């Protein structure tokens, strides 16, 4: 063999070796849904394809009964992570994505079960991982970190949130940091911990922020320097390094549940609540006319009208009475509350303010986050009404079209290939065409089990958590 031929063969073998070494890494990179709503919290799986048709009796690779909980699937490689509440314990589970087999389980004892958690379970927050460390949050305990083999690394107990509906914001990872947003009726805060040690790096109070359930995102997508939060009346960007406020923008309602979304041009923040429609509350002195026992505050049995309707919200410290400060705080918040979807063009530097690119007030969801997908924004509101907007202009492609699946919606939509998947609380999954100029349903199936967790799509597998099970759908 000539020297040139030997060199060519050597180069070819080296190329094959490099390809072989890189392939598992590429596969692992693709096999991720690392937090609530997947990569960067955006619910997008552009290169995947839904296993249509699918359902409880079709395309089922496996199904496993689950304890109570509404946390969404978190996936890394061959492991799927979920949280549950069983036998009085807060549990973190790792399942094998190939067959649903339980790999490991870790339990935490709650310091005190938070009151009012949605549908009877305190396991609502979705775990987050970077492939080495898994972080979970329970409002009834706090934060805990494990390696992917289930060994505990650290734990960080936190006070039980003071809120009517329990906690549901999920942890977010950014480099060597863990971010958690805790908006509650009193003493709201944003906290940053070291991922490896659990040590608090910084904590900032959020005065004026009442209960909220949105999970923050980090920004910009490729090299984050900011944490974007959505909460009472406004969005705020905090510096990832030290928690300093970088900018803020108003225009949101008194309570936000939907998490921020983004595309190449804008941040999208959505909020809707009945509180934004509350008429101007009367002065507190007028309210005191209802104070029958003369103790200087209004008890629930004494309250009428708006005071009775919104009593659990206005009574911030949950002492069973509304005092002057609590009443005035909510009076001011209700007056400024706006239901809206905001498209924000972030500031190019700390010296400049962000720009409101456009705003919409129709078709707004209460719980589901907006989905920025295929250069469009998809919104899902209660009653099974879907709206689609042009992401650049905010113009409606179609507005509040019914998909034929009634009831409330808690799961956020996800974009998969040419489709958008939405799930109703009653258990109906609807698959929409992501590119059509009018509403087009390509698949719909009723699971006959409640669905509140957002589905996940990883490496050809669709994971759906219902009130009773976790399903894996896959087609060869």
Pairwise CA distance, residues 383 & 400, whole Å: 10
Residue 312, C-beta contacts closer than 8 angstroms, at least 6 positions apart:
116, 164, 318
Pairwise CA distance, residues 461 & 78, whole Å: 11
In which domain, by residue range, is 321 found? 284-334
**DSSP single-letter state for residue 369:** P
What is the reported pLDDT for 277? 64
What is the reported pLDDT for 337? 93
Pair 38, 25 in one domain? no
Pair 325, 423 in one domain? no
What is the reported pLDDT for 22? 39
Pair 308, 362 in one domain? no
Query: Measuring CA to CA, which residue among 11, 141, 143 is closest to residue 88?
Result: 141
pTM summary value: 0.90
- Going from the first residue of the chain to its last (476 residues), give the mean pLDDT of each consecutive group of 10, the final group possibly shorter: 46 39 39 95 97 97 95 97 95 98 97 69 95 96 97 96 85 97 95 98 96 95 94 96 96 95 96 78 81 78 82 86 89 92 84 90 97 98 97 98 97 98 98 98 97 97 97 94
What is the reported pLDDT for 8? 45
Pair 81, 193 in one domain? yes
Pair 358, 406 in one domain? yes
Pair 23, 45 in one domain? no
CATH number of the domain where residue 315 is located: 1.10.238.10
What is the reported pLDDT for 117? 58
What is the reported pLDDT for 5? 47
Pair 139, 245 in one domain? yes
Residue 268, C-beta contacts closer than 8 angstroms, at least 6 positions apart:
260, 261, 262, 341, 342, 343, 344, 370, 372, 377, 391
Domain boundary among 312, 334, 356: 334
Pairwise CA distance, residues 220 & 213, whole Å: 22
Pair 112, 203 in one domain? yes
Question: Going along 281-383, which residue ranges are E strands?
Answer: 298-299, 321-322, 340-345, 355-360, 371-373, 376-381
Q: Are 109 and 85 in contact (CB under 8 A)?
A: no
Pair 455, 321 in one domain? no
Pair 3, 152 in one domain? no
- Distances, alpha carbon 10 to alpha carbons 1, 18, 19, 20, 372, in Å: 12, 12, 14, 15, 47
Pair 39, 3 in one domain? no
What domain count does the chain have? 3
Pair 245, 267 in one domain? yes
What is the reported pLDDT for 111? 82
What is the reported pLDDT for 18? 36
């Amino acid at each position: 063999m000539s020297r040139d031929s030997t060199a060519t063969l050597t180069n070819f073998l080296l190329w094959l070796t490099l390809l072989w070494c890189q392939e598992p890494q590429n596969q692992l990179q693709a096999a991720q849904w690392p937090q609530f709503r997947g990569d960067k919290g955006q619910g997008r799986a552009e290169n995947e394809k839904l296993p249509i048709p699918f359902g409880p009796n079709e395309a089922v690779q496996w199904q496993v009964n689950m304890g109570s909980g509404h946390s969404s699937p978190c996936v890394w490689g061959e492991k799927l992570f979920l949280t549950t509440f069983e036998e009085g314990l807060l549990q973190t589970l790792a399942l094998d994505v190939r067959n649903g087999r339980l790999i490991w389980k870790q339990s935490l004892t709650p310091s005190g079960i938070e009151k009012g958690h949605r549908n009877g379970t305190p396991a609502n927050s979705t775990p987050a991982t970077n492939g080495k460390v898994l972080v979970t949050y329970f409002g009834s305990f706090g934060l805990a970190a494990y390696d992917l083999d289930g060994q505990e690394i650290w734990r960080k107990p936190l006070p039980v949130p003071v809120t009517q509906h329990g906690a549901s914001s999920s942890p977010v990872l950014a480099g060597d940091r863990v971010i958690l947003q805790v908006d509650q009726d009193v003493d709201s805060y944003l906290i940053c911990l070291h991922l490896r040690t659990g040590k608090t790096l910084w904590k900032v109070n959020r005065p004026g922020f009442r209960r909220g359930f949105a999970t923050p995102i980090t920004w910009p997508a490729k090299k984050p320097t900011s944490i974007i939060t959505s909460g009472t009346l406004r969005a705020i960007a905090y510096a990832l390094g030290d928690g300093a406020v970088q900018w803020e923008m108003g225009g949101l309602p008194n309570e936000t549940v939907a998490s921020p979304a983004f595309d190449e041009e804008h941040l999208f923040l959505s909020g809707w609540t009945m509180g934004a429609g509350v008429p101007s509350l009367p002065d507190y002195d007028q309210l005191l006319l209802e104070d029958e026992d003369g103790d200087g505050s209004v008890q629930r049995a004494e309250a009428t009208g708006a005071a009775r309707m919104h009593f659990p919200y206005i009574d911030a410290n949950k002492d069973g009475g509304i005092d002057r400060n609590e009443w005035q705080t909510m009076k001011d918040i209700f007056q400024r509350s706006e239901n809206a979807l905001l498209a924000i063009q972030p500031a190019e530097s700390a010296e400049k303010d962000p720009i409101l690119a456009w705003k919409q007030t129709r078709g707004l969801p209460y719980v589901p986050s907006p989905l920025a997908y295929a250069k469009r924004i998809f919104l899902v509101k209660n009653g099974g009404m879907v709206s689609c907007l042009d992401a650049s202009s905010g113009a409606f492609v179609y507005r509040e079209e019914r998909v034929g699946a009634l009831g409330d919606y808690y799961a956020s939509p996800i974009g998969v290939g040419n489709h958008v998947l939405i799930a109703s609380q009653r258990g109906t999954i609807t698959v929409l065409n992501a590119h059509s100029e009018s509403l087009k349903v390509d698949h719909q199936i009723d699971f006959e089990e409640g669905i509140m967790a957002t589905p996940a799509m990883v490496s050809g597998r669709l994971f759906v958590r219902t009130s009773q099970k976790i399903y894996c759908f896959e087609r060869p």
